[in-house]
Amino acid sequence: MEADMEKAGPVIAALGQSSTDEDVIRSASALSRESGAPLDCVIIDNGTVSSAEEGERLARALSLARSLGARIASEPGIDTAAGLLGYAGARGASALVVGMGRSRILGRRVADRLLSARRAFSVVTVSVPRSGAKGEATPKPSGGGFGPAGHYLAAVLLVAAVTLLNLLLAGYAGYWAASIPYLAAISLAALVLDRWPVLFAALLSAAAWDFLFIPPRFTMFISRTEDILMLGLYVLVALSSGWMTGMLRASERLLAARESRMSRLGALAHTLAGAKTIGAILEASVESIKEAFSAETIVILREKGGGLKREAESGWEPLDATARDAARACFGEMRSAGRFTKIHPDSEWHFVPMDGTRGGLGVIGLRRAHDADWNEDLESFLRTIALTVSIAAARELPED
């Protein structure tokens, strides 16, 4: 690991890029102590869906960051490297610590792009353990790599349909005109399919155009220079169009999701500000969480002197023994437990801690449908709600 502390700005730890998030935080914390600079942790929210394992890993990293007194921020952005550079520049960072993970953009790791970019701060890299090393699982795709199989099937069927149309029109319009329906189909596909299936459709359509229409037909050989240039231009335009349209659609989804969640948080905060009793606070919180996650919800507060109450303060009752064990583990360790985690994963309930200004106040649990998925984005949103509820509850709860 190498660093050149050029400026007395904050040391920033970039999270969410690899299995080294906790090591990144520790390295950034050490640099922060050595230089006397503040510690920041930032996540670039690009709208991708993480696995439950990755979500739990990030939750542990955030818990570590809080214990070290770090300033935690989440910034929207499709391009992770550009988002990190922009945040670090705006904060006047002295160093940016990032894991040498497998997250790639157009074949380049995020860390590689940061190291090669022009910047006024140092970039410190932390290596990823080898795949299969003890204590580390092999990273899984997080939604930004390849789409579901259904999207690829749709891409194949779309290209096949347009090819049939072109075969019918080839005798009237000529083989060059076949590129127009193909290009229109790729642009429309980008509005409904994932990015990688769209790029697959672009390459498949180029191969179909070459094989079925460009002379000599039924071969991949092209005899005329102008046909080679035309095919190359088509591939470039189709790939660019599909990629940019996909990025635009992902950005729109990200902004819509963030707007919806900010609206929910704002409405909840407004409601809690007017609640005068702990019962009213918890009742409003349970209703808000049930609506946001379409899940049964429960709130269990701590007893005087520590430990959780046996009965829920508000929400669904009763809990089975496995769920109670998960709730106690969540409260004791101040980290997520239950379903979608490695702590009592056999529980039907997922718990997050209520971590207020006076320490742990209790836990919030939810039970979704068994086939419902979970990811880091949902986990982060639930933790933010839990923090909002904790601040309001601490106002009305008596001192121990």
**pLDDT value of residue 135:** 34
**pLDDT value of residue 384:** 87
User: Rounded CA gap, 268 and 280, in Å?
Assistant: 12
**pLDDT value of residue 366:** 92
**pLDDT value of residue 365:** 93
**pLDDT value of residue 314:** 65
Write down the pTM of the prediction. 0.49
User: Rounded CA gap, 391 and 384, in Å?
Assistant: 11
Chain length of the chain: 400
| Domain residue spans of the chain | 11-127, 159-249, 276-396
Superfamily of domain 11-127: HUPs (3.40.50.620)
**pLDDT value of residue 47:** 60
Topology classification of domain 276-396 = Beta-Lactamase (3.30.450)
**pLDDT value of residue 127:** 65
**pLDDT value of residue 173:** 82
User: Rounded CA gap, 41 and 91, in Å?
Assistant: 12
**pLDDT value of residue 107:** 38
Q: Which two tokens stand for residue 9?
A: 């700005």
DSSP track, 102-155: S-EETTEEHHHHHHHS--SSEEEEEEPPPTT-TT-PPP---SSS---HHHHHHH
User: Rounded CA gap, 12 and 65, in Å?
Assistant: 11
Scanning the structure block, which residue is given the tokens 């080898």?
130
User: Going by C-beta distance under 8 Å and a sequence separation of 6 or more, which residues neighbour residue 330?
Assistant: 336, 337, 338, 343, 351, 352, 353, 363, 365
Say whether 276-396 and 11-127 share the same fold.
Answer: no
DSSP track, 248-304: HHHHHHHHHHHHHHHHHHHHHHHHHHH--SHHHHHHHHHHHHHHHHTSEEEEEEBPT
Which stretches of the chain drop beneath a pLDDT of 50? Answer: 1-7, 49, 102-107, 129-147
Q: Which two tokens stand for residue 89?
A: 């520049």
